[in-house]
Amino acid sequence: MENTIQKGDLTTLNPGDTLLVQARKVANSKIQLEFAEIIQTVDRPVNLLSILNRSDAAFATRARRAWVTAEPADASEDFNINFGDDGEWYVSEKGEVLDLNILNPEYNGFRMRLRVMETLTPTTWQEAHLETSAKRRGSEGDFITHGGEYIFSNTDMVLTNDNVKHIFLEADDAPTSDTSTSVIEKVAEPEKVEESDLGI
């Protein structure tokens, strides 16, 4: 399959589809490729908050992102796109970028897929920026923990035509106030609903 520029769009991205959004020039004469994919796994329930706020720009795309650094000459050859200095770059607030919007990019017949890997071990950068790098309940919410430890959610890109095996850590129970705990009763596990079942 040919990697076709401007074939996809973040606003119409479906779960399981991958989008090579853009390239950006970075240090050491390299480029950074930005990928996006809406991750939906069967064993994780659909988030009602995102459904009920789908017309709000803050909830507009549920796509996870991954960035891969590349040599411009190698990426030019692999994607048949000119990533050289004479390519169709333009200046944005992010620096020099090249819009791509390639839907379901491939390499040698294999799909490029985003993989999520949650861990309790932060990178050096994550440890230094704990407030913004550890997983939270919303941008200003409580930290989400696993066994009392902070969760760090990382992404990378893999080549596969199979389902991607993500690593999600089970979160500790969310903190509750003393007044609400007296009213809550343990109920049966809720049935998991897929977005496709909701007509979205």
Q: Which residues contact 174 (CB under 8 A, 6 or more apart)?
A: 137, 142
* 189 within some domain: no
pLDDT at position 39: 86
* 124 within some domain: yes
pLDDT at position 15: 86
* 193 within some domain: no
pLDDT at position 176: 58
Check if the beta carbon of residue 155 is closer than 8 Å to that of residue 65. yes
pLDDT at position 59: 60
Placement of tokens 């109920």 in the chain = 187
* 197 within some domain: no
* 31 within some domain: yes
For residue 92, the Cα-to-chain-centroid distance in whole angstroms is 22
Rg (CA), the chain: 20
* 4 within some domain: no
Check if the beta carbon of residue 43 is closer than 8 Å to that of residue 77. no
Looking at the structure of the chain, the number of domains it has is 1
> CA-to-CA distance for 118 and 151, rounded, in angstroms?
6
Token readout for 139 is 């941008």
* 67 within some domain: yes
pLDDT at position 179: 39
pLDDT at position 54: 67
Cβ–Cβ contacts within 10 Å for residue 24, how many? 19
Task: Find the domain containing 140 and state its range.
Answer: 10-176
Token readout for 84 is 């050289």
User: Which of 112-142 are b and which e, b meaning 16 or more Cβ less than 10 Å from the residue's Cβ?
Assistant: bbbbbebbeebeeebeeeeeebbbeeeeeee
Placement of tokens 């809550």 in the chain = 184
pLDDT at position 181: 36
> CA-to-CA distance for 9 and 21, rounded, in angstroms?
8
pLDDT at position 155: 95
Among 43, 74, 28, residue whose Cα is nearest residue 170: 43
What percent of the residues of the chain are helix, what percent strand, and what percent coil, each to the nearest 5?
20, 30, 50
pLDDT at position 157: 96
* 188 within some domain: no
Mean pLDDT by 10 residues, the chain (200 residues): 78 90 96 93 64 67 88 96 95 95 95 95 96 87 93 95 92 64 35 45
Strand-pairing partners, residue 113, are 158
- Any idea of the CA torsion for 50, 40, 101, 108, to the nearest 10 degrees? 180
